[in-house]
Amino acid sequence: MAGRLDKLRKLIESQDPRLDALLIESRENRRYMSGFSGSAGFLVIGRDCAYLITDFRYTEQAADQAPEFKIVRHGSPFTATLLEVLAKAKVKRLGFEKAHLTYGRYDDLRTKLAPVELVPTESLVENLRAVKDAGEIKTIKEASRIADEAFGRLLKLLKIGLTEKEVAAELEYQMRRLGAAGAAFDMVVASGQRSSLPHAEPTDRRIDVGDFLTIDFGAEYRGYRSDCTRTMVFGRVTKKQREIYDIVLRAHEAAIAAARPGLLGKELDAVARKVINDAGFAANFGHGLGHGVGLAVHEGPGVGQTGDLPLTKGNVITIEPGIYLPGWGGVRIEDMGALTANGFDDFTKAPKQLITLE
């Protein structure tokens, strides 16, 4: 973590050289900077100090997981302990993560930490998290491998008559059996006409003959996430189902072939979008092509129509084009991988050709 601390200090200096320290509350940012995985705590990172402030439940865990930080146990109110830490570190201007601090929390801190001045900062830790190191990539690959294997097991168990909720429960069970801490996010399981809903929650609807079944899933492993979507058909595939699936697959494969460092996120999005637009379904692909994945399932960089930043070696992103036809159904195919020096290392090994099930 020492290397990350050094990088963050340089970013703080470049964004606002007058800042004495940064307060971090976001759970993912806190874990990334310190290694501490508990649910409650704050980091104060200055030019020559690093504090982790937490409560009685986590002091022992924090000391074990965050050896680069001085662990401070806070009482009630938390702000009194924070004020003591800031005074000891001689902090007069304290940066905070404006994307993560609620107005209520800000107002409370502004009042109780006076005369310390609170200064909003933007995406300091997130900018570091967007580029994964070798250890992070290895962990994310393992999360993806677990999800792939669990999906393979699920395919042997899927049958007509199962509910969407039963499918989601079985897939999470298989991922946990293989070593995952759990599902990486709230799983999407959508069958029949409901497959036109990109973020459908699993329901009690039972899978029927002729249904599309779309499953968007991932595993959480050592804090990191994977993300994959597959669409399949129960029974005989219709001409229209084949047509829509093949268009999405062509868009998906075109984007994977084009992915490389230096390309803007929106330029990669445009590669897949052109395939779908040229096929006449421009109005039916309403979300971005992808997003970064790491400690959070949605993080930088953005790979959509507003993705103005160039992709970089070490970015882990999804590529997930889709077509959604209300009242009929939809298809999404999603892989996840890392940008390499020359292209894209696809972590996802689940089959991409249309899967048909009885």
Whether this prediction's pTM lies above 0.85 is answered by yes
Asked if CATH classification 3.40.50.10470 holds for the domain at 2-129, the reply, yes or no, is no
**Judging by DSSP bridges, how do beta strands 335-339 and 42-46 pair with one another?**
unpaired
H/E stretch holding 41 reads none
Query: How confident is the prediction along the chain (358 residues), in pLDDT tens digits per residue?
Result: 779 999 999 999 998 999 999 999 999 999 999 999 999 999 999 999 999 999 999 999 999 999 999 999 998 888 999 999 999 999 999 999 999 999 999 999 999 999 999 999 999 999 999 999 999 999 999 999 999 999 999 999 999 999 999 999 999 999 999 999 999 999 999 999 999 999 999 999 999 999 999 999 999 999 999 999 999 999 999 999 999 999 999 999 999 999 999 999 999 999 999 999 999 999 999 999 999 999 999 999 999 999 999 999 999 999 999 999 999 999 999 999 999 999 999 999 999 999 999 8
φ and ψ at residue 202, rounded to 5 degrees: -60, 140
What phi-psi label fits residue 115: left (phi over 0), alpha (psi between -120 and 50 degrees) or beta?
alpha
User: If you write DSSP's letter for every residue of 291-324 in order, what string do you get?
Assistant: EE-SSSSSEEEEESTT--SBP-TT-EEEE--EEE
What gap in Å lies between CA 309 and CA 55, rounded to an integer?
A: 39
Helix/strand/coil percentages in the chain, nearest 5: 40, 25, 35
What gap in Å lies between CA 309 and CA 201, rounded to an integer?
A: 32
What gap in Å lies between CA 1 and CA 294, rounded to an integer?
A: 16
**Closest among 341, 343, 337 to 137, alpha carbons compared:** 337
User: If you write DSSP's letter for every residue of 80-147 in order, what string do you get?
Assistant: HHHHHHHHHTT-SEEEEETTTS-HHHHHHHHHHSTTSEEEEE-SHHHHHHTS--HHHHHHHHHHHHHH
DSSP letter assigned to residue 51: E
What gap in Å lies between CA 321 and CA 96, rounded to an integer?
A: 36
Domain boundaries of the chain, sorted by first residue: 2-129, 134-357
Where does 134-357 sit in CATH, by number?
3.90.230.10
φ and ψ at residue 191, rounded to 5 degrees: -120, 155
* CA contacts within 13 A on the Cβ side of 210: 6
φ and ψ at residue 206, rounded to 5 degrees: -95, 140
